[in-house]
Chain A
């Protein structure tokens, strides 16, 4: 994966590298166009009348390719004129190559009727890639090439800048672009905090203005220049404090975080609180699955069964409709709060039952077997066989809101607090287990099952425990889900849910609680906020999983254990002679 360092003062032009990166960028650019991403993204404006998300996307491959090429080439070398020319020249070439495949496609798409096979290479696509020059393909192609050259130029030049300037530029670009992309969300949040007139300076309706973008960029750049200093000064001050004061500082940090979480709905408004409820449900499930995967190393791909059991139990017990237990047996005292522990126990029982058969299986077989369980449950849920109980494909409706001391819980804000409490409780349980005898048993089993058994650990029991406890949160999440949407359909309980939870654990960092929160915000929150992301979410999940596994398997916010596992270690003395 690593290229050889070119520690040199003289510069040799790396043709192979340029060609490779350039063509790679070209293929990626063509690809995102062909699958329709460019068109869909184009609907969102990042900067008012200046830049759309689609156009930003089109600049990305060239930019990244040039950047990576430049960094690899400049590694360890000093900046000389030769270097500058070489890097910039290479960058420009990369930009050209990036545009090439798409330009070819621009010219052949209509004559060859590519659209009959590749459905997204249509007029809309043409419109976007030629920058609205559908009638003049030559002009359009030149614009495309120019834009790519520009992006590549910026990418390669950035590497040549001195460190602090580079950081400032990168931060400025990222911040203003991110604010632009998340424009609607940012505006919604700002509306809660500052008066509309002030916001209209930087936003036009829901889109960031150019002035706004520039302003944010400048602010971000300046902050980054001072950030490093402030940060190091703060850390050194804290390190000099005695231990007790240090823990007080840490508690203060947690307290602040908790405070923000508690007032969050007021900061972000109703629509975003709704999103946060969904994010929170996945965080809850993530914490749970993390116990099985992150601690005990058991890859459970059937986690959705726990979610389904919790949801259906809640639905059946509280529904006022024909399938509800009230109608069929007359027991009508079940409300949400009574049902939650039942759902929790039911999910734990499900986890236990499905764990028994898989106890002796190897890692990947375990994964497939649990996947099989998930599919079995889904097929049964939709089937006619179980329709009399759980409603088949139509599901169960007429589920009343949960009540809390007389008020109905129907706002997202109220639900948010229910989810928040559940998450905090789960987090506490998870942390306590991690540092306990049980946690160490799980880790030992994950490291070396046979030796763990030799130490006196009842491996079967420990594995059963891991599955059972991890199932519990799935059940609670399912129950909360039901009172959020007030209906339950089998379509909500497909393998996608399990993969979703798995992905956010992987991306955030296996075994890492903050990682799971981050993973959920990114993988669950973003698609909810940006419809465009939602359409391509599974594609992006796929790419993300592959990328993370190859480049950063410990996740974005890795736990200490994971870092240890995947780090290279110094070699110890040669192994003992065999017997």
Chain B
């Protein structure tokens, strides 16, 4: 609603900044005095007042009142409030040491890098085709689940631990290949015929493909878990007393993922192929007129996304003890999609940022916020945090942190 006079805008700006000031005040105050309760009262009162002021100024400006908008605004306040109250309580109680927080943060980064690698597959495909490749989680699973056999073989022969710096890249390449194959088949068989179908159709096909792949691999390898053998090079911990103590494996995950993401970035920004991908992403029709073979580029996009997911699968397997099985793709798939949207769908750096962000929040959140709110069994609720982030970002900022980068709408 645009009022035709300019008087209220300065007042508006001040009102909009007030919640941040409130949050900062309460946060600092609670931490310094270590008695959270009175500050929480201040917070609640402050939010009620601000909410009321907002409501009043909107009413005065003659805005139309919509229940929906009101609820969403209220939701925003409630969430901010809850997060703040929980964090303040936890920090003020001082139950956790700095070292523990740093550990949580770094393991969040590690987990997040895996999400980021998978998210790149989602974001590249959405940027070009405007479709959510629901089956991408299974592409990830395919690489991870298949490569475990190779890893076991390398382990049995001793090669894995004798020459890890050769063996691990072999595993990565193998997994990337498998996942790439699955992704490419997926595109050719299930998605290509539906390029011009109305929006819902490819989505439903993708759901079907997801199930098909899951249960195909169950049929192949059985329904049990298999674990990656442990690599001596990656065991052990890095310690800085009082500040952190993290497993080497986690560092490996983070840096390996970073290297792969860096490689992708170079590919997309510096090579001719990458330029073609970006062109098709911007405008399919015009790219075709410029002589770019759309089918090939799309195929290639799926292939790259698949390769990254496969590599992620191996990296994940090597650093996590709980192993691989045919259902391992579903939840990480959704979390990776969340990461892609968080960072801005279609936006390559965004997927990386989104993944890391989600990993950290999901790791720190239960301990920081939920235990402060008095909720029992917080570690079971990691997934709830992730899914809630998904819903929240879709409601409040669907364009993500770094903004969307999408092709023109399909006709």
Q: Which residues of A contact B (CB under 8 A)?
A: 1, 31, 34-37, 116-120, 297, 299, 356-359, 361, 363-365, 367-369, 371-373, 375-376, 379-380, 382-385, 460, 464, 499, 502, 506, 536, 538-539, 541-546, 549-550, 553, 565
Report whether B219 and A385 are in contact in the complex, using a CB–CB cutoff of 8 Å. no
Which residues of B have CB within 8 Å of A363?
Answer: 199-200, 203
Task: List the 6 shortest-distance A-B pairs measured between CB atoms, nearest first.
Answer: A35-B219, A545-B208, A542-B212, A384-B377, A542-B211, A539-B215
Q: How many angstroms from the CA of A368 to the CA of B132 in the assembled complex?
A: 9
Q: Does B384 sit at the interface, judged by CB under 8 A?
A: yes
Q: In the complex, A361 Cα to B396 Cα: how many Å?
A: 10
Q: Which of B371-411 contact A (CB under 8 A)?
A: 375-377, 380-381, 383-384, 387-388, 390-391, 394-395, 398
Contact residue among A35, A364, A499, A549 (Cβ-Cβ distance under 8 Å from B205): A549
Q: Tell whether, in the assembled complex, residue B376 and residue A385 are in contact, meaning their CB atoms are under 8 Å apart.
A: yes
Which residues of A sit under 8 angstroms from B394, Cβ to Cβ? 358, 361, 365, 368-369, 372
**Interchain residue pairs with CB less than 8 A apart (24):** A31-B216, A35-B220, A118-B220, A120-B222, A364-B132, A368-B132, A372-B338, A373-B387, A375-B334, A376-B384, A376-B388, A376-B391, A379-B381, A380-B381, A385-B376, A539-B211, A539-B212, A542-B208, A542-B211, A542-B215, A545-B207, A549-B197, A549-B202, A549-B205
Q: Specify which chain B residues have a CB less than 8 angstroms from the CB of A359 in the assembled complex.
A: 68
Q: How many residues belonging to B are interface residues under a CB distance threshold of 8 Å?
A: 55
**Chain B nearest CB: distance from A297 CB in Å?**
8
Taking a contact as CB atoms under 8 Å apart, the answer to whether B220 and A542 are in contact is no
Q: How far is the CB of B119 from chain A (nearest CB, A)?
A: 13
Which of B149, B208, B213, B384 is in CB contact (< 8 Å) with A379? Answer: B384
**With A542-B209, A546-B208 known to touch, is A536 a contact of B215 (CB < 8 Å)?**
yes
In the bound assembly, the distance between CA atoms of A176 and B218 in angstroms comes to 32
What's the least CB distance linking B104 to chain A, in Å?
20
Asked whether B205 lies within 8 Å of A546 as measured between CB atoms, the reply is yes
Rounded to whole angstroms, the CA-CA distance of A21 and B390 in the bound complex is 44
Of listed A120, A363, A379, residue having the most chain B CB within 10 A: A379
Knowing A361-B394, A369-B394, A538-B214, say if A550 contacts B381 (CB, 8 Å). no
Other-chain residue from A356, A372, A460 in contact with B334 (beta carbon distance below 8 A): A372
Name B's A-contacting residues (CB within 8 A): 66, 68, 71-72, 75, 131-132, 149, 189-190, 193-194, 197-205, 207-216, 218-222, 331, 334, 337-338, 341, 375-377, 380-381, 383-384, 387-388, 390-391, 394-395, 398
* CB closest residue in chain B, given A121: B220
Contact check, B380 vs A384: say whether CB atoms are below 8 A apart. yes
Q: Provide the bound-state CA to CA distance between A119 and B224, in Å.
A: 11
Q: Min CB distance, B184 to chain A, in Å?
A: 16
Known: A379-B384, A460-B68. A545 touches B204 (CB 8 A): yes
Q: B398 to A365, Cβ gap below 8 A?
A: yes
Assuming A364-B203, A375-B387, A550-B193, what are 19 further A-B pairs, CB within 8 angstroms? A356-B68, A357-B395, A358-B395, A364-B132, A364-B200, A369-B391, A372-B334, A372-B388, A384-B380, A385-B381, A506-B204, A542-B208, A542-B209, A543-B208, A545-B204, A545-B205, A545-B211, A546-B190, A549-B205
Best-buried of B66, B197, B200 by chain A (most CB within 10 Å)? B200
Q: How many angstroms between the C-alpha atoms of A454 and B381 in the bound complex?
A: 44
CB-based contact A379/B200 at 8 Å: no
Please, which residues of chain A bring their CB within 8 A of the CB of B341? 365
Question: How many whole Å from B135's CB to the nearest CB in chain A?
Answer: 9
Instruction: Tell me the minimal C-beta distance from A304 to chain B in angstroms.
Output: 14
Among A358, A373, A542, which residue has the most Cβ atoms of chain B within 10 A? A542
Contact B219 A34, beta carbon cutoff 8 Å? yes
Contact in complex: A356, B72 (CB < 8 Å): yes
Complex contact A460–B66 (CB within 8 A):
yes
A148–B266 CA distance with the chains assembled, in angstroms: 51
What are the residues of chain B within 8 A of A372 when measuring CB–CB? Answer: 334, 338, 387-388, 390-391, 394
**A384, A541, A545: most-surrounded residue (chain B CB, <10 A):** A545
**Measured CA separation A358–B391 after assembly (Å):** 9
How far, in angstroms, from A335 to B219 measured CA to CA in the complex?
Answer: 45
B116 to chain A, nearest CB (A): 18
Cβ distance B322 to chain A, nearest Cβ, rounded Å: 17
Complex interface: chain B residues within 8 A of A371 (CB): 334
Distance (whole angstroms) from the CB of B331 to the closest CB of chain A: 8
Alpha-carbon gap, A368 to B392, bound state (A): 12
CB proximity of A28 to chain B, nearest CB, Å: 12
Report whether A368 and B199 are in contact in the complex, using a CB–CB cutoff of 8 Å.
Answer: no
Taking a contact as CB atoms under 8 Å apart, the answer to whether B72 and A546 are in contact is no
Inter-subunit contact B221/A119 (CB<8 Å): yes
